Amino acid sequence: MEAAAGQAEEAGLASFLDKSQTQRYAGGFNPESWEQEFDKIPMFMKKSPAEIDPEQNPDLACLQSIIFDEDRSPEEQANTYKNEGNEYFKEKNYKKAVISYTEGLKKKCSDQDLNAVLYTNRAAAQFYLGNYRSALSDVIAARKLKPNLLKAIIRGALCHLELKNFPEAMAWCEEGLRIDSKEKKLVETRAKADKLKRAEQRDIRKAKLKEKKEQSQKEILLAAIKERNIKLFLEASKEEDEISDGLAEMSLNGLSSDSATGTKVYLDDNGNLNWPVLFLYPEYGQTDFISAFHEDSRFIDHILVMFAELPPWDSERKYHPSNLELYFEDEAREEMYQLNTENTLLQVLQHQRYFVKAGTPTFLVLVKHSPFSKNYFFGKKVHRLK
Amino acid sequence: MLRAGAHAQCTRSRDRTPRRRDARGGETLSPDGAGTGRRLQASCPSMDEVQARELLGFLHLDTRPDLKGQATGYILGLTGNVEGRTLLAGRPDFLEALLLLTGDRSLAVVKDSYHSLINLSVAVATHEVLAKELPVLLHRLLDPGYAFADQVCTLLSNLSREEGTCRQVFQAVQEEGLGLAWVVEAFCTEGYNKKAALHYLGPLLSNLTQLPETREFLLDRSRCVVQRLLPYTQYEASAIRRGGVIGTLRNCCFEYKYHEWLLGAEVDLLPFLLLPLAGPEEFPEAEMERLPVDLQYLPQDKQREKDPDIRKMLLEAVMLLTATKAGRQLVKEKGTYLVVRELHQWETEPDVQAACEKLIQVLIGDEPEPGMENLLEVKIPEDVEERLQHLDREEERQQGQQETQSKGPGAQMGSSGLSR
């Protein structure tokens, strides 16, 4: 018997092998596109398609309807979605988990405990996606259904911690500890939130103190400027209380183009002002910048140092200290004033038509009797030294 | 209106037991002497048995309201002075009658009854009778809608002053099913009772922590209890509450086994003790960074704790934290010296100054010899103990005299219930 059966089997196999040599197996994969076809079989699918079309994927649609049978109660369906979400959650596929829990909630089932769990679990998934606000609103929804759901409270505390709402984080922890006074996560989170809150308060105090100090220094500086009768050029408004704004502006955009150092006028320990000063050489389009020009220094002292050697751009070799003339411009009246290089900076700044613009006194340097100078002043009113 | 309580005693480092908050006297009320002619011969506190029986006859729930009101008003008057208190404290029948009238329909009667009981509870002799009512009193204390919860709270705080009664109060707290956790909860919940501020929960907690078992609960590492009390060391609205919490913390500091935990990141007690002692002084950046964050960059209008007794308790608590080697190390590391140094310069009260100096000695002094490292466990020879106790009594006596001179009976406020 056995031998006969074996023979019959062998014969069947032989005929099958013969057949396979000549004709193709009807349900076989196509050698070119087997990978795509493979993916369409539910068991081997790497990803489930977002939309299941029963025409294209009859097997999957079948399975789908077994799991999410529309005939089943909303509670059962919601529960299935919860389990599906939990599976995704375990795989750390939080986006998918959120979708599953959302589907579960859409069933609007009457089991409020289940809904609370769906909200809490969705909150956890959102939390891991970094969507702390969404997580928080889910947790709040969960607690509306079940106020004492400890997992929701813990999640809420963690959300507040991430959102830097430290007092709220602590309050949530304390609420949770009323339910379970020894819940470790809550004790730890409260301590963490407390520590961060106190550090934040320190930072706020520090910033306030700094601001206050800067403000008072600014006021002292302004008073020193005012006391010397130095006038600040204010673009926007000339009202008295706008002066501090003017100064703020002065410190902000004072020296942006020429100096990256952000230098500004300051009072030194002896109560003297030191100004950043800009010299312009219009003939060559050059400039020199002195970051701290002591108010009692004379212009000639700086000129002597600056032009001890001729600058490289002075192709005609004429910028000798003794050849140079200094001017400032009265912008409002479009007039030029020549200044005495023997004068100190303070003396010049106190000139009745001198206005400090953008926090940086600026002066023009020209070569005496040069053709450029004549050209430059052509048609302008120039107040020359007598 | 309640007279501010008597003040905490000084604690020497050799003390091995925590003190209750107030060592002398209790929260007493006294009537204002003048302008209350409606009272029944309140000026004469002596009473014979016949008069007493007659008065007791009025102290029933079904007495005519006006007579009952006069009777309780008269009793309150009696409890305002020592003779009257001594007289009534020995009469359980009066105490029971007053307890009964705390359930009266007339609010004035209830108030007078409570205030009389508060005054009488200063005498330990009354405790046996009053302790029988503990379950009812505790229930009322923690009832968020009870209008006289503040009075109950003061009464319980007076009762818990004495160790024996304190134990009974604690037992009742535990047996009422809600436990100490609920007392802490009520304490930490702003607006727990809309009709009562419950500031006296502070002194109550402080008194309760004279018991090791309450300290164990507050210091349970697996819970979050003592941590929640910490912000109240800067509670501005009430010195009673603030002092109570600081007394509680000081009592907890006797548990040196918890010092490292208390000083560590989980509780971080030290800044909460130092912050009320810190003023607006600015420190150089490097020194500032050594301070705990809570003490850094304090505003220029920062004020120190106003009550010298509370300042002293704070210093004593810090002192206790330096009892062990590890604790000392941690306290020293956190810039305590800077804060205490500045306080010392500012301080004008001699005994607080002395407390500063004691602490500074520990902070800048050398480490003690082997065997003396834990100051709370050092054995003190009997003769030294006796001498120190004598000095303590002497100091108390002097302080007591100063107290009478500075405050005197004139500072006692009348009870508003009486003038009605």
Q: Which two tokens mark B168? A: 């009974």
Range B233-258 average pLDDT: 96
Contact flag B224-A186 (C-beta cutoff 8 Å): yes
CB contacts, 8 Å: A187 with chain B: 222-224
How far is residue B71's CA from residue B58's CA, in Å, rounded to a whole number? 6
* Banded pLDDT at B32 (limits 50, 70, 90): very low
Which residues, in sequence order, are bridge partners of residue A288? A279
Whether the CB of B392 is below 8 Å from some CB of chain A: the reply is no
pLDDT for B275-290, tens place per residue?
999 999 989 988 888 8
Give the CA dihedral B130, B132, B136, B137, nearest 10 degrees: 30
pLDDT surpassing 80 at residue A143: yes
Give the pLDDT score at A235. 60
Q: Which two tokens mark B25? A: 């006297």
Please name the helix (run of DSSP H) or strand (run of DSSP E) that holds residue A288, with its range, or none: strand A286-294
pLDDT surpassing 70 at residue A158: yes
Whether the CB of B185 is below 8 Å from some CB of chain A: the reply is yes
* Banded pLDDT at A6 (limits 50, 70, 90): low
Whether the CB of B302 is below 8 Å from some CB of chain A: the reply is no
CB contacts, 8 Å: A212 with chain B: 300
Give the pLDDT score at B41. 38
pLDDT for B397-418, tens place per residue?
665 554 333 322 222 222 222 2
CA A350 to chain centre: 45
Which SS3 state, helix, strand or coil, does residue A362 take? Answer: strand
Contact flag B224-A209 (C-beta cutoff 8 Å): no
Give the pLDDT score at B177. 66
pLDDT surpassing 70 at residue B33: no
Range B181-200 average pLDDT: 94
In 3D, which of A235, A233, A329 has the Cα closest to residue A282?
Answer: A329
Bigger pLDDT: A196 vs B399: A196
CB contacts, 8 Å: A190 with chain B: 224, 227
Q: Which of A206-210, A378-382, B320-324, B336-340 has the lowest mean pLDDT?
A: A378-382
pLDDT surpassing 80 at residue A173: yes
Which SS3 state, helix, strand or coil, does residue B8 take? Answer: coil
Q: Which of B188, B266, B297 sits opposite A205 (nearest CB)?
A: B297
Give the pLDDT score at A233. 78
* Banded pLDDT at B385 (limits 50, 70, 90): confident
Question: Scanning every residue of chain B, which has its alpha carbon at the shortest distance from the alpha carbon of A193?
Answer: B266
Contact B131, B159 (CB under 8 A): yes
Contact flag A178-B266 (C-beta cutoff 8 Å): no
How far is residue A244's CA from residue B19's CA, in Å, rounded to a whole number? 58
Instruction: Kindly report each contact of residues B401-404 with a partner whose C-beta sits within 8 Å and lies 24 or more positions away, as own/partner.
Output: B403/B6, B403/B7
Question: Do the bridges between strand A362-367 and strand A381-383 make them parallel or antiparallel, or are there none, so unpaired?
Answer: unpaired
CB neighbour list of residue A342: distance below 8 Å, 6 or more residues apart? A298, A299, A300
- By the 10 Å C-beta count (0-12 exposed, 13-18 middle, 19+ buried), B390 is classed as exposed
Give the pLDDT score at B179. 87
Mean pLDDT, chain B, rounded, equals: 83
Mean pLDDT, chain A, rounded, equals: 85
Give the pLDDT score at B193. 96
Q: Which two tokens mark B287? A: 């020194």
pLDDT surpassing 50 at residue B9: no
* Banded pLDDT at A261 (limits 50, 70, 90): low
Bigger pLDDT: A242 vs A6: A6
Whether the CB of B296 is below 8 Å from some CB of chain A: the reply is yes
* Identity of the amino acid at B251: N
State how far the alpha carbon of B246 is from the alpha carbons of A37, A240, A275, B91, B253, in Å.
Answer: 76, 52, 55, 36, 10
Question: Scanning every residue of chain A, which has its alpha carbon at the shortest distance from the alpha carbon of B224?
Answer: A187
Contact A365, A324 (CB under 8 A): yes
Contact flag B266-A191 (C-beta cutoff 8 Å): yes
Q: Which of A65-74, A216-225, A243-252, A373-382 has the lowest mean pLDDT?
A: A243-252
- For chain A, what percent of residues have pLDDT higher than 70? 85
pLDDT for A51-74, tens place per residue?
667 777 777 777 766 666 667 889
In 3D, which of B147, B234, B241, B161 has the Cα closest to residue B201?
Answer: B241
Contact flag B296-A191 (C-beta cutoff 8 Å): no
Kindly report the nearest CA distance between residue A63 and chain B, in angstroms. 49
Contact B297, A205 (CB under 8 A): yes
CB contacts, 8 Å: B265 with chain A: 191, 195
Q: Is the pTM of this model over 0.80?
A: no
Contact B310, B242 (CB under 8 A): yes
CB contacts, 8 Å: B298 with chain A: 205
Which residues, in sequence order, are bridge partners of residue A278? A289, A362
* Banded pLDDT at B49 (limits 50, 70, 90): confident
Give the pLDDT score at B265. 92
Contact A146, A113 (CB under 8 A): yes
Give the pLDDT score at B34. 29
Contact flag A191-B181 (C-beta cutoff 8 Å): no
CB contacts, 8 Å: B294 with chain A: 198, 201-202
3-state helix, strand, coil in chain A (%, to 5): 55, 10, 35
Q: Which of B223, B227, B296 sits opposite A182 (nearest CB)?
A: B223
What ipTM does this complex have?
0.77
Bigger pLDDT: B272 vs A49: B272
How far is residue B312's CA from residue B131's CA, in Å, rounded to a whole number? 32
Contact flag A198-B293 (C-beta cutoff 8 Å): yes
> Please, what sign has the CA dihedral across residues A132, A137, A143, A145?
negative
Give the CA dihedral A36, A41, A42, A45, nearest 10 degrees: -30
* Banded pLDDT at A80 (limits 50, 70, 90): very high
Contact flag B224-A174 (C-beta cutoff 8 Å): yes
* Banded pLDDT at A252 (limits 50, 70, 90): very low
Give the pLDDT score at A254. 38
Bigger pLDDT: A21 vs B87: B87
How far is residue B154's CA from residue B5's CA, in Å, rounded to a whole number? 10
Contact B139, B176 (CB under 8 A): yes
* Banded pLDDT at B204 (limits 50, 70, 90): very high
pLDDT surpassing 60 at residue B135: yes
pLDDT for A334-345, tens place per residue?
899 999 999 999
Give the pLDDT score at A293. 93
Q: Which of B181, B265, B297 sits opposite A206 (nearest CB)?
A: B297
Residue B272: how many other CB atoms lie within 10 Å? 23
